[in-house]
Structure 1
């Protein structure tokens, strides 16, 4: 059985993810208490090969989740965890727009306090799996990322290289963040400004800059040096975020080059946050 557990902050998009998984052929269970995970497995084994379960603070008993995941892995179940998170500002906006009540809110606690309390309660679970920061993602983009996630083969580790713009905030789901704002900026060339780091003229411009080559080489060497340590820790995903000012030129170019290099020996995903948001 392939089992995906979806958890994370209320309002971060778990229902969107569960629907996307259902569309790709997963049997989905929403709002399951973590204590019932072994029973669900026993009931569904032999009849369902791909199962997705959502569990969060609504169902309680989350402290049982890590141990039950270990038990399922011990009997051969392929368990993956998707942890969704967002900034406080994004969550406040979503709850305000939909007029939904936060599951932890009451007359004695504000919406902002409820969000921070839930973040604290979920902190022990945040290290269990792959993070997705949905702060600035549209539902369509999130659905696409989830489909990319489930399409990966079961290998030791997947490297996820992501570009972003610092002016839009650092992604919450990054394991490592590299700042390439010191590199020569194609933005100041009127001909290159409307292009991206995937376009040939921008790539040619950056390829001629010694600083770009040195920065790329340093990042490549760092990832190569430390990757075995993360493999030994049984990590399924490692996210390396590369940021420039707007997330359009330099960071995109570096991510594309890193992805090209490491895809020769590892499973690789590439994301360009700001480019995808502009679609």
Structure 2
């Protein structure tokens, strides 16, 4: 979203069903965009005219549509998009939210929801037909966000990074803990592997606890390798942050990983968050897999470093 209001800012949001369009639109609304979802495209021209009639200062508007939208014809939409782009009083952006077919199938199977376009066909056939229908829009999109490996939080963060008002873009910090058993978070900018530390999982008294518990914290801090390694990590981060800020970076995610994402990474992420807050910053602390049973099972198969 730009800081001037001499143009109508129009963000058109589309993508594959189940990829995260609704999550994206809700985040845009939280950022101050006027949000309209499942908007009949036959009314789009009239809506734009009404917004332009309001004159300078009109709110930025995000309009969502997809393959279910009534009278949706990609060719006609792209023709009108070209007309909008030729105007001097409209700034138009097309965002496409995408996702790999296998992941979309998993989401539909997990929620037991039928694909809206299936009409008795298998999900993969409906997805293939939908992807073909939207192919030209994806090619034309100004931004494509692939949510295949994203959590809802990851998508929200990506939307904030691309579409927050520039006046609010003081660098936002996130500190995250995660378990390598479920993969590295796709939004992580700096990743530190804490698996070199002694694992509290193999202490029966500490196993049911987490890195937020004092007994686990003492166990980790008593590891001879912890103080020096953590001190160097902290110094590195405090050295880098002013440089990222000077470059105008909007968001930075610092991630700490361990095997299951319950002990070592949780404690270290919390410790760094407290240190950053002491410097006057306001990081968001996220424990990505803290409550994951699946990570516990992986960690429990055999002793790991």
**Do they fold alike, i.e. is TM over 0.5?**
yes
When Rg is computed on C-alpha atoms for both structures, the one with the higher figure is 2
Are the aligned partners of 2:103 and 2:148 in contact in 1 as well (CA < 8 Å)?
no
Matched, 1:225 2:232: no
SS in 1 for 2:168: coil
Could you tell me how far 1:262 is from its partner in structure 2?
1.2
Per-residue deviation, residues 237-260 of structure 1 (Å, max 9, x unmatched): 111111100000000111101111
1:108-257 to structure 2, matched below 5 A, reads 110=128, 125=143, 135=150, 154=168, 156-257=170-271
Q: 1:157 to 1:4 in 2, by over 3 A?
A: farther
Asked if 2 retains the 8 angstrom alpha-carbon contact of 1:244 and 1:250, the reply is: yes
Counterpart in 2 of 1:267? 282
State the aligned residue count.
250
Which segments of 5 or more consecutive residues in structure 2 lack a partner in the other structure?
Answer: 3-8, 118-122, 294-305
2:19 equivalent in structure 1: 12
TM-score by length of 1: 0.63
Q: Is the 8 A contact 2:101 2:124 kept in 1?
A: no
TM-score by structure 2 length?
A: 0.59
Which residue in 1 is equivalent to 2:303? Answer: none
Residues 12 and 135 in structure 1, CA contact (< 8 A), matched pair in contact too: no
- How far apart are the structure 2 equivalents of 1:226 and 1:216? 15
Deviation readout 1:83-113 (Å, 9 max, x if unpaired): 97767643331245533279xx997x958x9
Change beyond 3 A, Cα 1:95–1:19: same
Q: 1:123 and 1:51 mapped to 2: Cα distance?
A: 17
Contact 2:154 2:187 in 1 (8 A): no
Q: After the TM superposition, which residues 42-53 of structure 1 pair with which residues of structure 2 at under 5 Å, given as runs?
A: 46=57, 48=59
The Cα shift of 1:176 comes to: 2.0
Q: CA RMSD in A?
A: 5.2
Change (3 A) 1:259 1:16: same
Whole-Å separation in 2 of the counterparts to 1:203 and 1:4: 49
Consecutive unaligned residues in structure 1, runs of 5 or more: 76-81
- Distance, in Å, in 2 between the alignment partners of 1:85 and 1:235 is 25
**CA spacing shift, 1:234–1:186, aligned 2, 3 Å:** same
